[in-house]
Amino acid sequence: MEKNNSFQMKICVVGTFAVGKSSLVRRFVENRFDSHYVNTIGATIRQKKLIWDGLSINMNIWDMEDNTDVMHSSYLWEANAFLAVCDLSRLQTIPFLWSNIRQLQIHYPNVPVIVAGNKVDLVKQPRLPLPDDLQESVEAVVLTSAKTGENVYRLFSLMANKMVAPAAVSVY
């Protein structure tokens, strides 16, 4: 993975429909938000370069469609990290999040998972406690807003940091 102080990183973004996967990626890559919803078909690949502690990190971010079959898809092959997203304003998306993570555990047990509880701007007292069986599988939980940009850069920086210097579970 390392070459001349640079890293190539494949991040796969998973979650059910309309949780803000594409919006999080757009906010991070382009620093903009578009309220017009467009359903992702297959995968959209975006790129962003970060400089982290003197290292150049080239992030290839795969924004995945909402499809449970995608968990078995070749799209996920060679992923360095998974970003699992739910919508904090739609509590029914949270069980799907946990289910997705359990599937990732089975099929990709050595790939780190970071959780984004998105749309924090729409919730008065946001919380996203991890189920006991996922405590060791999830590297971090970050509460985000693609709309306002809250914690979006921190989310992707944390993913880069986990690849460069793995650490214990963190909650932001």
Q: What pLDDT, in 10s, does the model give residues 149-164?
A: 999 999 999 988 887 7
What are residue 3's phi and psi, to 5 degrees? -155, 115
Using the predicted structure, report yes or no on whether residue 79 has a pLDDT greater than 60.
Answer: yes
- Mean pLDDT over the full length of the chain: 85
The number of distinct structural domains making up the chain is 1
Domain that holds residue 101: 2-171
Residue where the block lists tokens 């795969």: 62
CATH number, domain containing residue 96: 3.40.50.300
Model pLDDT, residue 3: 46
Q: What pLDDT, in 10s, does the model give residues 6-63?
A: 888 999 999 998 999 999 999 999 999 877 666 666 678 889 998 877 888 899 999 8
Question: Structure pTM?
Answer: 0.86
End-to-end CA distance of the chain: 28
Using the predicted structure, report yes or no on whether residue 69 has a pLDDT greater than 80.
Answer: no
* pLDDT (mean) for 123-143: 91
Q: Is the dihedral of CA 103, 42, 142, 55 positive or negative?
A: positive
